[in-house]
Amino acid sequence: MKSLSKGAAALLLIAAIIGIIAARFVIAPRTDAQMNAVKRAAPYEISKPAQALHDSLRVADLHADTLLWARNPENRYDYGQTDFPRLREGGVRLQVFSAVTKSPRGLNFDRNDGTGPDDVTRLVMAQLWPARTWNSIYERAAFQAQRLQKLERAGQGNFIIARTAADLKAAIDNPEILIGILETEGAHPLEGKIENIARLYDEGYRMMGLQHFFDNELGGSMHGVTKSGLTDFGKDAVAEMVRQGIILDMAHASEKSVRDVLALTDKPLVLSHGGVRSACPRTKNRNLPDDILLEMARRKSLIGIGYFEGVICDISPNGIADALVYAVNLLGEDVVALGSDFDGTVTTSLDTSELAAITQALLDRNMEPRVIRKVMGENAIAFFLGALPQ
Ligand SMILES: [Zn+2]
């Protein structure tokens, strides 16, 4: 083959550089803004009593995928749904940061094949993540934990990652400190190896979902092909997670997988960003049935209600409040929590700076301030104080 002339090679190089810059600084932010959109009906009016109550809350949220995107969470953005300045404005003290590592193209709630093209691969390349993340799911999880660790170092005590109950206890009474907890969205970062649980623990992960949108080595997803339960590897992995003190998140797991977990352990569990099927039956393959949620509640688990279409039928602040009231009536006031799924490629009616609109809507529904306090954060704080490694 004839080699390229020097001029043609230079042109190709320039085109490649322009392509890389466009992908990182134009296409990636545009994708972020489109995928994590906020559609407000109108500015939300917050009454003085609602604002006063909200300002006195310690808000906690069980799920945000912020680490997947190229935004620097230390800065305030006018797109996406969560960053540190907006978390502080919304009164959030504790935020679970989840690591998304693989996402089948054509995502839907009913049936996704994990063997096809993966959108996260394109995204990490467009965002110029290190090459080690391009074809390793494990490395994508490790990298996202390292991003949060870097923010912890830069935060000089104003942002900490809670790795133990003592970390959380020491920070939660200081309103200046924002607290993060790390979780993997699905356990495919294990790449089928039990020993990767310990490696991810060392990176700071304290909670793990079992599946995301597709069936993986551990078993069936709610949105996968088989809808099956846990595999033998999945059962071994769950036992090992329990042994190492990792909190189990049932979000996205198939009904059979959740029932298998309930049979394997009597530990309290988490549903980080879900919904109650009897409250919003429209999307069967997203929400859990009452009997599973009641069993989770009986063992003092934590049930996080999402803010997006599919888990709740009305995504307005009023709709979120209705879903929270329904869950409290069904499951009791001690287990229900916020599970936004901010930055999780969902459209929401508010970003995290606007959470007072939920407090307002709960007051409008005559939820007692004492119960609002629990749902908005205290249930989650109490749960993690008990469930994080002591
Ligand atoms: Zn999710």
The string of pLDDT tens digits covering residues 175-190 is: 999 999 999 999 999 9
Q: How far is the CA of 222 from the centre of ligand 1 (A)?
A: 11
What residue has token string 């977990």? 261
As for how many domains the chain has, the answer is: 1
- Structural domain contains residue 40: no
The CATH number that applies at residue 108 is: 3.20.20.140
- Structural domain contains residue 19: no
- Structural domain contains residue 25: no
pLDDT of res. 154: 97
CA distance 39 to 35: 12
Q: How far is the CA of 14 from the centre of ligand 1 (A)?
A: 39
Mean pLDDT of 52-73: 97
Range of the domain at 322: 47-387
Confirm if 210 and 218 have CB atoms less than 8 A apart.
yes
CA distance 257 to 251: 11
Q: How far is the CA of 49 from the centre of ligand 1 (A)?
A: 34
- Structural domain contains residue 258: yes
Beta-carbon contacts of 35 under 8 Å, excluding residues fewer than 6 positions away, are 345
Q: How far is the CA of 16 from the centre of ligand 1 (A)?
A: 34
Q: How far is the CA of 366 from the centre of ligand 1 (A)?
A: 30
- Structural domain contains residue 326: yes
Q: How far is the CA of 301 from the centre of ligand 1 (A)?
A: 18
Q: How far is the CA of 326 from the centre of ligand 1 (A)?
A: 21
State yes or no: pLDDT of 355 exceeds 60. yes
State yes or no: pLDDT of 151 exceeds 90. yes
Q: How far is the CA of 19 from the centre of ligand 1 (A)?
A: 31
pLDDT of res. 3: 65
pLDDT of res. 2: 57
Q: How far is the CA of 46 from the centre of ligand 1 (A)?
A: 29
- Structural domain contains residue 37: no
267-325: pLDDT as tens digits? 999 999 999 999 998 888 899 999 999 999 999 999 999 999 999 999 999 999 999 99
pLDDT of res. 236: 98
Pairing of strands 59-64, 92-99: parallel
Mean pLDDT of 226-241: 97
CA distance 220 to 111: 11
Q: How far is the CA of 184 from the centre of ligand 1 (A)?
A: 10
- Structural domain contains residue 35: no
State yes or no: pLDDT of 31 exceeds 90. no
Classify residue 135 by its DSSP letter.
S
Q: What is the mean pLDDT of the chain?
A: 95
